[in-house]
Amino acid sequence: MNEYVQLGHMVEVDPPSATNKFRYYIPHHFVKKVSSTTTKFRVVFDASAKTTNGKSLNDLMMVGPIIQYSLVNL
């Protein structure tokens, strides 16, 4: 997690307050790969996890155009 901070991928935020009470934390966990000699742990984020209001971050994001070729066509 320190590497995420150093690379600027993650920042620590203040707890919610009366003036700034809206926060969203992407649920995450790590996956351990014992056989790896370089990267033992990998962080996995789950933006499809539902919150208390029944919505996920993925539910609220704008869907863009498909930019990959269809595997069927390939």
Residues with Cβ within 8 Å of residue 32, at least 6 apart in sequence = 40, 41
Amino acid 26 reads: I
* 46 found inside a domain: yes
How far apart CA 74 and CA 30 sit, in angstroms, is 33
Amino acid 34 reads: V
* 43 found inside a domain: yes
Residue 48 confidence (pLDDT):
93
- 39: containing domain: 26-51
pLDDT tens, residue by residue, 17-68: 777 766 777 888 888 888 877 877 888 999 999 988 899 989 988 888 888 8
- Please report the sign of the dihedral spanned by the C-alpha atoms of residue 37, residue 38, residue 39, residue 40: positive
- Given a cut of 90, whether residue 69 has pLDDT beyond it is no
Q: How many residues does the chain have?
A: 74
Give how many domains the chain has, as a whole number: 1
* 71 found inside a domain: no
